[in-house]
Amino acid sequence: MSPEVIRRLAQLRQEFYTLFSKAMEEPVKIVNRNSYASNLSMASWIDNQARFNYIYIYAHTAPDELVPDRPLTLRLSVNKGGDFMAPTWQKRGSQELNRSWHFELILLPEEILDFLPWIVHLIKSYNQGADLLIPEPPYPLVHQLAKGMGLQNAQTYDASNRLAQPLYPVARKEECLSAFPKQQYR
C-alpha cells in the first residue's frame, strides 16, 4: 500500500472506532497498532455475558506499486480472526473470546461511516440473543440477512462491482494471437 492509502485507512479506522465507541453506549477500548506487524488496530468491548468482542477494519484490496489501479476496499470484521489473541486474553482475566458469532463486511471507504449505526444495531441484536428485526442496511448488500441472523459474510453491491471490474483492458482475441508467431502445426 502507498503511504497515502495507509494514512487514509488509519484516519478511517480512527474516525469509525471513535464514533463506534460513542454509539455502543458501553465501555469500548480502542487500540491503535501498526498493521504491518500483524497487530491490527481494533475496538473491543465486553458483552453482557462477560465475553470479549472486537472489531477490526483493514484493507481488503488496495492500490500498490505493482497494481496502482486496484481499488481500495475495506473489510470490517467482528469477532473473526482473533483466535491468535486467545492465549493473551485468557491470561488477563475471566473474559473469553466471543466465538458464538462473527460477521464480515466488505465495503468501500466512502460507505463505512454510513454503516456504523447498522453495525451497532447488528452487534446489539446478537449480544441480546434475540431475533430482532435488523433494519435495512444503508447500502444494498450482495447477501441479505437471513432469518435468525444467519449472515456471516456480506459485501455491498458497489464494492462487489468495483472488485469485479478488470484492472487491465480486455484484449481482443486477434491481439492475443498476434503476440505469438504463426506456426504450422501438422
Per-residue model confidence as pLDDT tens digits over 1-20? 888 999 999 999 999 999 99
User: Can you tell me the distance from the alpha carbon of 25 to that of 77, in angstroms, rounded to the nearest whole number?
Assistant: 20
- Predicted confidence at residue 17, as pLDDT, reads 96
Domain ranges (residues) in the chain: 3-178
Predicted TM-score of the model (pTM): 0.78
- Please work out, in degrees rounded to the nearest 5, the angle formed at the alpha carbon of residue 74 by the alpha carbons of 70 and 77: 145
CA distances 72 to 66, 75, 109, 161, Å, are 14, 10, 7, 13
In this structure, what are the phi and psi dihedrals at residue 128, rounded to the nearest 5 degrees? -80, -15
Cell 452487534, residue located: 123
Q: What is the pLDDT of residues 85-129, one digit of tens each?
A: 544 544 455 567 877 788 899 999 999 999 999 999 988 888 776
pLDDT at residue 130, as a whole number: 64
Res 184: pLDDT: 56
